């Protein structure tokens, strides 16, 4: 990742206005359709809830060409300090579509952290520019816990459709919870509150030249905050509705970028998770209210067929990753009729743990390894969809919580095998 340097002019402006109390960061890249609404919500939130404090809204833009900067400027109202900082996109950023849709997201965040540090901000809220339902209250929910309750990291807690975020539900949330012992329900959410001291801590991290910073910024921030013992909470924001182009994220890219980042962070923070068993709740602030999340659908038939084909066609790959007992169980699942198809929680967790171990051992190219797991993930999706098709959201959430307990119960296996793998590598 290219080094980020603030211009002398920006340094001078920040130096003259420091110390700031609050800052809002809005990373953008071609978000002209929605960024104006986000800026207006930020201005209203700061005015309504923090009108007596020194504040700054910073737009970190990666070279938008669709009128985003003009939309930001049109949304500006008198009395609100607003600054646009440009960062450069590297060629790889333009060629690779990231999971959360913002090319160069790591560079955008690094820029915001540098601005917060230069301005001596006590607290920073970062929100996506493509939101369609953001409200002024979100800024109180993201910033108030830092100011009044001394939290360092505020993760979002969204009300989501039971079939939205299946990668998070099946892998990211339960694995992160089992590893680090804290129940952050949305570890890869798009909105965050960050204390000034944590922003400075992030800048000192050596992650900036790795894929975790380039593609897995969200999970890196959550993991670092927990692993390095910062004070973490969650704020209930209701539903999260985004502007999209109608295309879902590429599954292979999601697995490589996000799951790969989680596995890489396991190596970085090995000392933080090796002795953790069980998990503790993380404070949830804000009053839960009924919100209507966007519907999400699962194609059970297609997911199941992809699973069956993967079990057949990728057997030579899976033989390098999994035991004969696991392969036999997968073959048995693949032969089940659709109406009774089930991928047991214990089998699923064992596959994830052995995938992480294979990643750690580098038994094959890591990108190839993660992409090869896509059919097995679709098997979990098909199983979850069949079991919850007629269940309410609360019952589906209970199934996720039950899965998390299996991750925790089987973690001693991961710890033991990781120790063996680490000794082998030495």
The residue extents of the domains of the chain are: 8-285, 300-425
Give the span between the Cα atoms of 286 and 141, in whole angstroms.
Answer: 7
User: Is the backbone peptide bond immediately before 19 cis, with ω within 30 degrees of 0?
Assistant: yes
| Rg of the chain over all Cα atoms, to the nearest angstrom | 22
pTM of this structure = 0.92
394-422: b (≥16 Cβ within 10 Å) or e: eebbebbeebbbbbbebbeebeebbeebe
DSSP bridge pairs for 126: 25, 192
Where the chain has pLDDT below 70, the residues are 1-9, 11-13, 15-17, 79, 88-104, 208-215, 245-249, 425-426
Burial of 78 (C-beta count, 10 Å sphere; 0-12/13-18/19+): exposed
Residue pair 184/234 in contact (Cβ under 8 Å)? The answer is yes
pLDDT of residue 9: 60
Beta strands in 43-119 (DSSP E): 55-61, 82-86
Q: 293: buried, middle or exposed (CB in 10 Å: 19+, 13-18, 0-12)?
A: middle
Q: Give the model's pLDDT for residue 97.
A: 43
263-278 residues labelled b (16+ CB within 10 A) or e (exposed): bbbbebbeebbeebee
Annotate 140-180 with DSSP letters as a single string.
Answer: HHHHHHHHHH--SEEEEEE---TTS-HHIIIIIHHHHHHHH
Contacts of 398 (CB under 8 A, 6+ apart): none
pLDDT given at position 209: 66
Does CATH place domain 8-285 in 3.90.550.10?
A: yes
Phi, psi of 232 (to 5 degrees): -120, 140
Nearest to 371 by CA among 305, 310, 298, 301: 310
Query: What pLDDT score does 103 carry?
Result: 58
SS3 99: coil
Query: Quick one: pLDDT at residue 180?
Result: 98
């Amino acid at each position: 990742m290219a080094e980020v340097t603030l211009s002398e002019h920006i340094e001078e402006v920040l130096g003259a206005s420091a110390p700031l109390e609050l800052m809002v960061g809005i990373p953008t890249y071609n978000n002209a359709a929605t960024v104006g609404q986000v800026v207006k919500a930020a201005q209203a939130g700061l005015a309504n809830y923090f009108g007596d404090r020194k504040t700054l809204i910073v737009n970190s833009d990666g070279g938008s060409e669709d009128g985003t900067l003009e939309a930001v400027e049109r949304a500006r109202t008198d009395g609100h300090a607003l600054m646009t900082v440009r960062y450069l996109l590297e060629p790889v950023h333009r060629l690779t579509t990231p999971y959360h849709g913002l090319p160069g997201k790591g560079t955008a965040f690094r820029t915001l952290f540098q601005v917060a540090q230069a301005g001596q901000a006590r607290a920073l809220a970062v929100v996506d520019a493509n939101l369609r339902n953001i409200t002024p209250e979100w800024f109180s929910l993201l910033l108030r816990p830092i100011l009044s309750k001394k939290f360092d990291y505020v993760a979002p807690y969204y009300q989501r459709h039971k079939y939205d975020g299946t990668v998070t539900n099946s892998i990211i949330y339960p694995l992160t919870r089992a590893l680090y012992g804290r129940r952050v329900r949305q570890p890869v959410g798009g909105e965050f509150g960050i204390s000034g001291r944590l922003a400075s801590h992030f800048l000192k991290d050596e992650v900036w030249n790795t894929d975790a910073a380039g593609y897995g910024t969200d999970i890196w921030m959550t993991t670092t905050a927990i692993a390095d013992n910062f004070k973490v909470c969650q704020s209930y924001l209701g539903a999260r509705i985004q502007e999209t182009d109608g295309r879902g994220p590429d599954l292979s890219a999601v697995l490589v970028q996000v799951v790969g980042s989680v596995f890489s962070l396991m190596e970085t923070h090995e000392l933080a998770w090796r002795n953790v068993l069980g998990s503790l709740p993380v404070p949830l602030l804000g009053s839960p209210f009924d919100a209507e999340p966007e519907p999400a659908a699962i194609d059970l038939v297609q997911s199941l067929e992809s699973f069956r084909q993967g079990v057949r066609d990728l057997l030579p790959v899976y033989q390098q990753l999994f035991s004969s007992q696991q392969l036999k169980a997968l073959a048995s699942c693949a032969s089940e009729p659709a109406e009774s198809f089930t991928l047991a929680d214990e089998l699923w967790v064992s596959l994830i743990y052995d995938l992480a171990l294979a990643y750690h051992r580098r038994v094959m190219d890591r990108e190839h390894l993660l992409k090869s797991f896509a059919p097995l993930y679709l098997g979990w999706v098909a199983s979850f969809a069949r079991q919850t098709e007629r269940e309410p959201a609360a019952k589906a959430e209970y199934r996720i919580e039950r899965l998390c307990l299996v991750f925790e119960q089987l973690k001693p296996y991961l710890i033991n095998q990781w120790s063996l793998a680490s000794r082998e590598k030495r």
